[in-house]
């Protein structure tokens, strides 16, 4: 019984993460449209990749709940997080 609630809570939290991440991406993109600084656009792409990578294991867990699927979803998620943070760092250093 607790597993059903745990999965539901994870799904709700993933949805909230996507909404908040999307809102932040929209705000940063709006700032880019005002100042037209390419650094903000690059930063937005990095943030987009990071937000998707954060929720990827939760969403993939519903599609492929077997242990191998969960493991590879976590690995892909970590790689995506590293890429997203790397792009964001590049944008800040390029600044």
CB 81 within 8 Å of CB 48:
no
CB 48 within 8 Å of CB 85:
no
Domain containing 34 equals 2-94
CB atoms closer than 10 angstroms to residue 75:
11
- Quote the percentage of the chain above a pLDDT of 90: 73
Residue 67 is predicted with a pLDDT of 87
Summarize pLDDT for 56-74 with one digit per residue, the tens. 998 888 787 888 888 999 9
- Is pTM, for the whole model, over 0.85? yes
- For 39-64, give one letter per residue: b (16+ CB within 10 A) or e: ebebbbbbbbbbbbbbbbbbbbbeee
Give the pLDDT band (50/70/90) at residue 51. very high
Q: How many domains in the chain?
A: 1
CB 57 within 8 Å of CB 74:
yes
């Amino acid at each position: 019984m607790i597993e059903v609630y745990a999965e539901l809570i994870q799904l709700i939290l993933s949805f909230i993460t996507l909404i908040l991440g999307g809102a932040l991406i929209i705000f940063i993109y709006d700032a880019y449209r005002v100042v037209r600084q390419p650094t903000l656009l690059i930063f937005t792409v990095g943030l987009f990749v990071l937000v998707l990578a954060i929720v990827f294991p939760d969403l993939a867990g519903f599609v492929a709940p077997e242990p191998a699927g969960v493991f590879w979803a976590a690995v892909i998620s970590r790689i995506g997080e590293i890429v997203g943070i790397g792009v964001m760092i590049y944008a800040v250093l390029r600044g």
